[in-house]
A and B are shown apart, each in its own frame.
Chain A
Amino acid sequence: MKLKNFCVSGGLIAMACALVWAQAPGVLTVSDPAKLRVPRTGSVDQSLKLRLQPGYHVNSDKPNDDFLIPLRLSWEKGAVETVAVEFPKPVIEKSEISEKPLSLFTGNFEIVTKFKRAPGAVPGPGLLTGKLRYQACNDKMCLPPRNIEVKVPLLVE
């Protein structure tokens, strides 16, 4: 009986741990993107809203050191073509870890991608997949590089 209770308790603890794991906040989160309506001609902007946990930073898309990992956003080819990816203005910060000031993103920020309809794209709904690669640190430690898969529902007009 005692063994059974022990096993049940162990199971509950494991389930609780799994729940905590599933709900644990990450240092970088991406808001669910709005549906993208792709016009027949011209381009359309898609804004990706990101939120970094306080105290953390990620390198900008153009860090001032070759060894630092830049923030990257890439999109798979499909019904749309990427015209340009526009990152916000970075925060430039002096640091004892680098001779040159660091180029960082912190807090809440947005990345805007300009898309245009791909030649031969079929009108109708679809899904656009992107990959956001980042590497986050605070002033005491760094986390390994991570990828976030971004899915944007789209409608080709």
Chain B
Amino acid sequence: MQFRVMGSLAATVLMLGLTMGLAGCSPRGSRAEGASSARPAEKRKPAPDFQLKDANGQLFHLADYKGKVVLLNFWATWCGPCKIEIPWFAEFEREYKDRGFAVIGIAMDDEGWPVVKPYVDRRQMNYRVAVGSPEIEQLYGGGEGIESLPTTFVIDRQGKVADVHIGLVGKSDYKDEIEELLR
């Protein structure tokens, strides 16, 4: 039987390639608890700047966060693994905010705010959330856009990409990286 192939694995592979490029090397697998996780500083590349409006209609730029460690998380309301991460990120926002840390959630729902806003309220997301645009998809996902969710960029105080996580990873992986970058 002949099957018509309609899918996006190849796009995911290309996206992986681009994100690897942004991070300066390949994505990591599982790592030991407490192990150093962020890329060496000299291998990091600048996180592309963008401007978006948040849930309150306020325009912001990634450049506004220079000097802070940022967890830039691409997610969607229909993404189950993303839902698991949301309480972690809310906890990180509470725990590390005063030490120069922030989470930015970029929702990739095609329907935009009418779908995203009720979800943000329901999940009590305490960090800044914006709806993605084709421009930010190009900047962070290359020609094919962000193909897998969640995709999370960990950005250092110099505005450089210290690591990229595609798919769900452990809470402790994030925690270790954040603490390392905040030191």
What is the interface of chain A, defined by CB distance below 8 A to chain B?
A: 20-21, 23-32, 49, 51, 53, 67-69, 95-98, 102, 135, 137, 139-146, 148
List B137-183 residues whose CB lies under 8 Å from chain A: 145-150, 166-168
Tell me if B78 and A25 are in contact (CB < 8 A): no
Tell me if B84 and A26 are in contact (CB < 8 A): no
Q: Given A26-B5, A97-B84, 14 other A-B contacts at CB below 8 A?
A: A23-B5, A24-B9, A26-B9, A49-B1, A67-B77, A67-B115, A67-B119, A69-B78, A96-B84, A97-B80, A139-B168, A141-B81, A141-B167, A143-B12
Tell me if B78 and A142 are in contact (CB < 8 A): yes
Q: How far is the CA of A135 from the CA of B8 in the complex (A)?
A: 11
Closest 6 CB pairs of A and B: A26-B7, A24-B10, A141-B167, A97-B80, A140-B167, A29-B3
Contacts A140-B167, A140-B168, A142-B148; A24 near B5 (Cβ below 8 A): yes
Majority secondary structure, A binding face: loop
Q: Which of B1, B77, B147, B168 contacts A143 (CB 8 A)?
A: B147
Contacts A67-B119, A142-B149, A143-B148; A137 near B7 (Cβ below 8 A): no
Tell me if A145 and B147 are in contact (CB < 8 A): no
The listed residue with most A CB atoms (<10 A of its CB), out of B7, B14, B110, is: B7
Contacts A140-B167, A142-B148, A143-B147; A25 near B5 (Cβ below 8 A): yes
Q: Which of A24, A27, A32, A67 contacts B2 (CB 8 A)?
A: A32
Tell me if A142 and B80 are in contact (CB < 8 A): yes
Count the A-B residue pairs with Cβ separation under 8 angstroms: how many? Answer: 100
Tell me if A51 and B3 are in contact (CB < 8 A): yes
Contacts A98-B80, A137-B81, A141-B167; A146 near B8 (Cβ below 8 A): yes
What is the interface of chain B, defined by CB distance below 8 A to chain A?
A: 1-10, 12-14, 76-84, 108, 110, 115, 119, 145-150, 166-168
Q: Which of B12, B78, B84 contacts A67 (CB 8 A)?
A: B78
Which residues on the B side are within 8 Å of A97 (C-beta)? 80-81, 83-84
Q: Which residue of B lies closest to A134 (CB)?
A: B6
Q: Which residue of B lies closest to A23 (CB)?
A: B5
Q: Which residue of A lies closest to B76 (CB)?
A: A142
Q: How far is the CA of A96 from the CA of B80 in the complex (A)?
A: 9
Tell me if A25 and B149 are in contact (CB < 8 A): no
Q: Which residue of B lies closest to A150 (CB)?
A: B4
Tell me if B82 and A27 are in contact (CB < 8 A): no
Q: How far is the CA of A96 from the CA of B84 in the complex (A)?
A: 8
Q: Which residue of B lies closest to A24 (CB)?
A: B10
Q: How far is the CA of A102 from the CA of B83 in the complex (A)?
A: 14
Q: Which residue of A lies closest to B115 (CB)?
A: A67
Which residues on the B side are within 8 Å of A96 (C-beta)? 84
